[in-house]
Amino acid sequence: MSRWLAWRPGAYLRASGGLFGWLMLRAAAQAAMVVLLARLLGVDGYGLFVTAQAVSGFFSPIAGLGLALLLLRDGACAPAELPRHLGMALALWWPAVLVCALAATALLAWSLPSRVPLTALAAFALADVGTTSFVELAARVEQARHRVGAFGAILTGLMLARLIGLLLYAAAGQASAVGCLWVYAMASALYALALARRMVAQHAPVWPKKRQWAMARESLPFTIGALSFRLQAEFNKPLLARASYGQAGNFSVAQRVIDLASLPLQALQEALWPRLYAGRHSARQLWLVCAVLCAAALLGGGVLVLLAPWVARLLGAGFEDTAHLVMLLALLPALQLVRNLLNAVVAQQRRQSVLTAIYLMSGVAGILFNLWLVPAAGLQGAAAASYLVEAVLLALLVAVILLRSKWHLWGKAT
């Protein structure tokens, strides 16, 4: 008994446990924001808001250029080079943000079924695209230094800033979807400014004399991968909004519930990546961790099915379809976990061109599946498209890993 009482978790569990605390706070803020906006705007107003988020969200991975994950991968191996890499990443990032924000504004103006002032769309697009990509850069630098607590705090701070802004706006009286877009943009921009001051003070990024776009080319697989995953999650929103903003709102809430339930898995994965890239643990240890994570993902899916009926009761009228959608999507986190683990194996091998091809194919598949299934089957079609894209990704990643193993064994034999 004394041995059990004296037990202390290892560094991996301590790191993931601390990150889980921050992610729980972030999820609580996100859940509060979903409930606030759903009750404040109703199902149609909430649907407009999340559709705008989805459309601008397509451009955040492009603006980030995949540089955040490149900083994580290389910074975990060579921490002394981080200030130089960070300076180059920032120099490449800000022009991309301006171009992407302009493109996002144009796409928002064209794709939203209802008319929204262009100034509101432009402010929202610039703040959302710029802040989201910048916050990921700042957070991944901390993660590369194995400071997963700071990583979680930075991500959580953005969600809290947005929630506080929207709460103050709601308390002021008459609220509208357009007003929420403005407040969301202003809160995001203020948080990004505060985070920029902290980054300069703590990490002293070395600004380059000349931009080296080779870094962006090296991070291209991460860019395409992030864009592929974003398209998989969000491309259905504008299509659903064409039928009604209510459908887009219901599907968005279901996704947020899935995200909330996946937090323990996310914390464990994010604490695992820097260790995997740094090569600190044996293959046996890593496979054991992966097996535990997969079992936890399946267990979490079962819990989601049991708790799904309570979602509609919490949000009120107009969200009756959300409970059914949560049940349909309950096993998606388990597939995403396996995909992330296989993706990490290929990324560690630095097979950038292979990853780029996989992400391109899965991104195209996601667009085609949604264009086919959402108009034909609505919400159920959007759920089916999510599973089909994951199946395509898993098949491609498994095929690539098996082919490499086969060629490796054949090379040894000859």
pLDDT by 10-residue block (mean), the chain, 414 residues: 42 58 82 85 84 87 80 72 81 89 92 83 93 90 80 89 93 85 94 91 80 76 76 81 80 80 70 62 64 75 72 68 81 82 73 78 87 88 90 87 62 47
58 found inside a domain: yes
Give the distance, in angstroms, between the CA of residue 196 and the centroid of all CA atoms in the same chain: 21
**Cα(350)–Cα(364) distance, integer angstroms:** 23
Structure tokens at 307: 């708790």
2 found inside a domain: no
**Cα(270)–Cα(234) distance, integer angstroms:** 22
* CB-count exposure of residue 407 (10 Å: 0-12, 13-18, 19+): exposed
414 found inside a domain: no
Number of domains in the chain: 1
**Cα(46)–Cα(252) distance, integer angstroms:** 9
366 found inside a domain: yes
Phi, psi for 21 (deg, rounded to 5)? -60, -45
282 found inside a domain: yes
**Cα(37)–Cα(217) distance, integer angstroms:** 39
At residue 5, the pLDDT reads 35
183 found inside a domain: yes
130 found inside a domain: yes
Tokens 């894209």 locate to 389
At residue 38, the pLDDT reads 83
Structure tokens at 292: 């535990």
At residue 410, the pLDDT reads 46
At residue 219, the pLDDT reads 75
117 found inside a domain: yes
At residue 181, the pLDDT reads 93
**Cα(160)–Cα(30) distance, integer angstroms:** 8
**Cα(349)–Cα(366) distance, integer angstroms:** 26
Task: Give pTM, 2 decimals.
Answer: 0.73
C-alpha closest to that of 47 among 234, 251, 322: 251
**One-letter identity of residue 412:** K
- Domain carrying residue 90: 7-409
